[in-house]
Structure 1
Amino acid sequence: MMEVKRLFDIFPYQLEKYALGDAMGGKVNGVWETYSTQQVIDMTDGLALGMLNLGLRKGDMIAIISGNCVEWALADLAIQKMGGIVVPLYPSSSADDLTYIMNHAEIKLVFCEEDALCEKIKGCQAQVESLNHVYTFREVKGEPLYKELLATVDQEGRGRLKDIQDTISAHDLATIIYTSGTTGRPKGVMLSHNNIVSNVNSSIPRLPVKQGQTGLSFLPLSHIFERMICYMYFFQGIAVRYGAIDQIPENLKAIRPHVFTAVPRLLEKVYDKVIAGGMANKGLKLKIFKWAIDLALRWEPDGKNGAIYNMQLKMADKLVFAKIRDKAGLDRVGALASGSAALQARLARFYNAIGVPLVEGYGLTETSPVISVNGFGKNEMKIGAVGRVVSGGEVKIFPDGEICYKGPNLMMGYYKNEAMTKEVIDENGWFHSGDIGEVDKDGFLKITDRKKEMWKTSGGKYIAPQVIENKFKESPFIEQVVVVGEGQKFAGALIVPNFEVLCGWMEETGISFNRDMPAAIISMDEVKKKIESETTELNKGFGKWEMIKRFELLPAELSVEGGELTPSLKMKRKVIVAKYATEI
């Protein structure tokens, strides 16, 4: 059996071990199209040769800007095969950031998904001297379709590709991922083939999947989290279905996947819909639903709740949970992994209790990305922790509480930025994550905050905003929260209510309101008092200096489009504070 050392080795390995008739697929004009292992190899060989015929060469930078689709994966593999460096671009990036990245990386060719993104890139092209070619995944008037690149794959062509690939080592650069960052220009994270392949190998034991199963991919492939996960699926003979992030409910129902990944915001939206739907019941059905959800929110790993609880859980499954899974297309899920942000304890309890096994992990783009992750076996999961460190990696908590890491998945450095590389990787090879955390007696890592996001009140007391925010998001009435007050006497918060839950409560209590007027809803005294009562309860357990003394309600969610969140859904705190300075 061949050994996978470089990313483009994965499909020859898959052909030798599994030879899948259905290796990957996606919707094209509303119809699912699939590719066998051999078809993936042939298609990517043809695209790779086509790029060489354009005059592109090993080491050239080639970008992809697209939502999740099968063509993204095909282009990624093809670029690697001809020795190119894959540079993912975020579809939500501004023209200014795209221009900067394409110039910084000296992009030669861009693959675009459709007309809007093609127009975005074309609008930048005049300012990017290196950019000579733009190809599209969908029909765009006046622009060449990516399939026009396909070259005939004969013996000579395969030999040409092999000659190039023989010069590519496991430690050569495979991709540059520009992290959006919360301030300043994007940084280009350089990841080698070995960085990512090693992370695939060390993550496999934590995500129990097997040949013959299907994985759904909808998180952005421009992030290393989803991209690494898909490589892992390929490595294990899992058929991958690519779907748009705005079509998750219908794709879950159509595919009924065995495995997928998600971020807490998406998991919370599903949870909210389940709660809203169940609370619409009347009489005995409503009582049973409430009983089942209360049971779910007390779930603990490894059967720690005891025999009586487990018997009740089985009954709840028959009466409520099995119907939830079936209705949502979650009935076959054996593994669900969450990353990118802190997972609320109630979400971890809920999904595991209803029979959708969910674990939380931790990592960064700079670590390809997984540093630690919980597992599905006995004594492998702790709620509130992000698991044990993956094999081959090492975590050290420095005196200031910062999480530092070493491992084969640690990046090569920041592209064209040696000074910044030295800022985060010290002389002893430790990568300084910028996150604050601790390792407990059982070896589980816990994240408490971002080092750079901690601040002091005017009284000199430190505030760790993420700790408070994570606690506050445990309330079903709070969708988003931003703790503010740096240099002030006390901490305050900007709160976006969960309007679905809030409106349900208002209907139950007989309060008149217009669902289509969120600004009017948050100005109502009854709503303010409800959130205040939630805040009072949530403040318990915090020191007096940490308690939220005042809050301001916001009528709309913080978003990528609004400029308050990065593409990976992290808060841009400085932007938020500036935007809502009047409210603060």
Structure 2
Amino acid sequence: MDPTQSLIENRPASVAHLFLSRVEATPDRPAYRYPVPVDEQAADSAPGAEQWRTMTWGGAAVRVKAIAAGLMAAGILPEERVAISSSTRLEWVLADMGVMCAGAATTAVYPSTNGDETAYILSDSGSRALFAEDGAQLAKVLGQRDHLPELGLVVVFDAPSELPEAEGVEVLSLAELERRGEVYLKDHPDAVDKAVQAIDREQLATLIYTSGTTGRPKGVRLVHDCWAYQAAAQIASGLLTEDDVQFLWLPLSHVFGKTLTSGAVQLGIVTAVDGRVDRIIHNLPLVRPTYMAAAPRIFEKVYNGIAAKARAEGGAKYRIFRWASGVARAYAKASEEAMVRTGTRSVPFALAAQHAVADRLVYTKIRDAFGGRMRACISGSAALAPDIGYFFAGAGVHILEGYGLTETSAGSTCNPGENYRVGTVGTPLPGTEVRIAEDGEILLRGPGVMRGYHNLPERTAEVLESDGWFHTGDIGEVDGDGFVRITDRKKDMFKTSGGKYVAPTEVEGRFKAVCPFVSNILVIGNGRNYCTALVTLDETAIMPWAASHGLGGRSYAEVCTSSEVHELVGGFVEKLNAGLQRWQTVKRFTVLPRDLDIEHGELTPSLKVKRPVVEREYADAIEAMYDGAREA
């Protein structure tokens, strides 16, 4: 049997099985790295200083088993739900593994979720216990106590010195739960091992609630086999190698972040965990990862930051950067074309010579910013602008776009290593099938597909066929080599009043490629006679430009709404329109006074734009772009 096929077909029943096998095989190998504050009393320590510590697989097992046993001692039974409401950190990983090793199921809750929706998720899932990150998460839940009759235990990661009392709910620190687990294991030393051996691959492992744009979120039922499959597929496809160091900062409450923990367990690689987005750039040179996953917005921000810094330096440095950017894109495109034709990434001699010079002057600094060892970055959850993909590929930072949904436990397709193709989401992972329906919708089938929506059989039947095919809601195509290309969300495509279909995501991606200042753009035009756009700008990119163009001293909002910035953005809109069909062109646009964000409900925690929310919020601005105007 082919080794890849064997890895997929002979996968264990659960990641809990993988974890115990990994601990037995390599107990002393590093498993996790995590930041901790430096003792402020120590010599030479600066305020807020941190250091990175390492936990071995054996050390992780001690804590995971104590957590699992603590839950079992509290009466948590197989498949009963235990929620986690926390940012990405080591304790999230340990708690999730503890839940799985107890045979229970994790309910993932974003820490940014408000009290009302958190209560809904805990109630709908029937969660009996909750891991809360800190006092703020604890207070949010206790404030909704009357709506949570099944919740009997809350465990706090960063527990205050005095834990509050709540009627009908026991509140513990994580340390106390682990102590109780240790006591339980003295009387029942093989309790966790037996619980893991009893896990069936079709047993519920995780409930992840989709952050819908309207109505209540839906709980996606992912069984243990979904994660065991993801682990095997990540290794079989070559996404992970035995020498990798993974940097994990994505929200673990999101399926993209959660799936990254699976393959690392099976392969036994070290994962550096820190979910603070504002520390990513700082952490990369410290962690020096070889592998990292991110949403496109992160790569866009990095690119905009590099471009803004070069622009601020001006003169020869900016000219060199612009030249090097062009060389990077040309080199990446030429090497990709050569790979398709010949199976090698050979490029013309003259271009290779230019690339070597640009590498010494520019690209090495970019790679150093990523830690200097980055083998590959995985981009998912939204489309990456091809020009940005080509730029980083030419600079030696390979961004492999992938595709998947919460309903498919994340990864369904991904670009395969050296044979990646910018602008596609790659080929299906081993064991996953892709089919294009008659209307262009992408259908997926495989072990990673959910077993349904929690308590919503009718909604499940709308998207999941009896033979296992899942309707993604995305429109796309598959080329002759099996590479999948996403063209738009089925529900996002619209028709103008002239009867022409427009894929807004395509137009938005093109604009991000030509405008180095953009943060978000929303193309509008459903039922209208022309397209318009709402645009937000990246503050770190636009403010230096403003300071050097007579707008110094103005606030970010004042800069965004100034006539100078409107003229600046207008120039990029003209460049955009030059490459579009007439009915796709943006006739009018509005630059908003602030960026879209999660706090205002305009972005999902995975940074996807909630179009209905934004359109409602800025309805007046949209109408103003159509009032009294005719199509040009």
The runs of 5 or more residues in structure 2 that have no matched partner are 1-6, 38-49, 164-171, 340-344, 623-632
Alignment pair present for 1:583 and 2:627: no
Letter in 1 for 2:536: V
Relative to structure 1, the CA distance from residue 516 to residue 14 in structure 2 (aligned partners, 3 Å threshold; closer, same or farther) is: farther
Residue 282 of structure 1 deviates from its aligned partner by 4.7
CA RMSD of aligned residues (A): 2.0
Q: Does 1:480 align with 2:552?
A: no
Equivalent residue, structure 2, for 1:26: 34
Residues 47 and 507 (structure 1 numbering): CA distance in 2 closer, same or farther, change over 3 Å? closer
1:550 is aligned to 2:588? yes
Counterpart for residue 103 of structure 2: 83
Q: TM-score, normalising length from structure 1?
A: 0.94
Report the 3-state secondary structure (helix = DSSP H, G, I; strand = E; otherwise coil) of the residue aligned with 1:315: helix
Q: Describe how 1:317-336 pairs up with structure 2 within 5 A.
A: 317-326=359-368, 328-336=369-377
Taking the aligned partners of 1:404 and 1:515, their CA distance within structure 2 comes to: 52
- Please say if 1:181 is aligned against 2:182: no
Counterpart of 1:167 (choices 187, 198, 209) is 198
Amino acid paired to 2:306: V
Q: Which runs of 5+ in 1 are unaligned?
A: none
Equivalent residues of 1:179, 1:189 under 8 A apart: yes
**Aligned match of 2:81:** 61
1:70 aligns to what? Answer: 90
Q: List structure 1 runs of 4+ shifted beyond 6 angstroms.
A: none
> How many residues are aligned here?
579
Q: Choose from 272, 276, 286 the match for 2:304.
A: 272
Which residue of the partner structure matches residue 50 of structure 1? 70
Q: Distance in 2 between matches of 1:391 and 1:31?
A: 39
Taking a change above 3 Å as real, the CA distance of residues 443 and 332 of structure 1, as seen in their structure-2 partners, is same
Select the residue among 482, 492, 495 that pairs with 1:453.
Answer: 492
Distance 2:540 2:158 in 1: 36
The two structures have a TM-score, normalised by structure 2, of 0.88
- Aligned partners of 1:185 and 1:119: how far apart in 2? 22
1:116-167 CA-to-partner distances (Å, cap 9, x unmatched) read: 2222122222321111111111132433211111222757533222333332
- Superposed displacement of residue 504, structure 1: 4.7
Q: Does 1:568 align with 2:597?
A: no
Deviation at 1:542, TM superposition (A): 2.5
Q: Cα 1:155–1:498, aligned 2, differ >3 Å: closer, same or farther?
A: closer
Partner of 1:465: 504
Deviation for aligned residue 1:96: 1.4
Deviation at 1:456, TM superposition (A): 2.2
Task: Give CA-to-partner distance per residue, 1:57-81, whole Å, 9 cap, x none.
Answer: 2221100011111000100011111
In the alignment, which residue of structure 1 is the partner of 2:270?
239
Residue 311 of structure 1 pairs with residue 353 of structure 2: yes
Q: How many angstroms does 1:516 deviate by?
A: 4.3
Question: In the alignment, which of 240, 243, 252 is matched to residue 221 of structure 1?
Answer: 252
What are the superposed Cα offsets for residues 214-257 of structure 1, whole Å, 9 maximum, x if unpaired? Answer: 21110001112111112112221211111122211121121111
- Taking the aligned partners of 2:239 and 2:528, their CA distance within structure 1 comes to 48
In structure 2, which of residues 227, 234, 241 is the aligned counterpart of residue 203 of structure 1?
234
Q: State the match for 2:533 in structure 1.
A: 493
Give the distance between the partners of 1:324 and 1:452, measured in 2 at CA. 37
Report if the CA contact (8 A) 1:174-1:191 is conserved.
yes
Counterpart of 1:412 in structure 2 is 451
Kindly indicate whether the alpha-carbon contact (under 8 Å) linking 2:85 and 2:130 is maintained by their aligned counterparts in 1. yes
Letter in 1 for 2:431: G
Paired residues of 1:210 and 1:237 also in contact (CA < 8 A)? no
Match of residue 146 from structure 2: 126
Inter-partner Cα distance in structure 2 for 1:343 and 1:192: 30
Match of residue 112, structure 2, among 92, 96, 100: 92
Distance apart, 1:329 and its partner CA: 4.1
> Who is 2:629 aligned against?
none
Deviates more, 1:198-207 or 1:229-238: 198-207
1:432 pairs with one of 447, 471, 474: 471
Moved more, 62-71 or 447-456: 447-456
The amino acid across from 1:96 in the alignment is D
**How far, CA to CA, are the matches of 1:366 and 1:24 in structure 2?**
28
Task: Give 1:353 deviation, angstroms.
Answer: 1.7
* Counterpart Cα distance in 2 of 1:502 and 1:137: 39
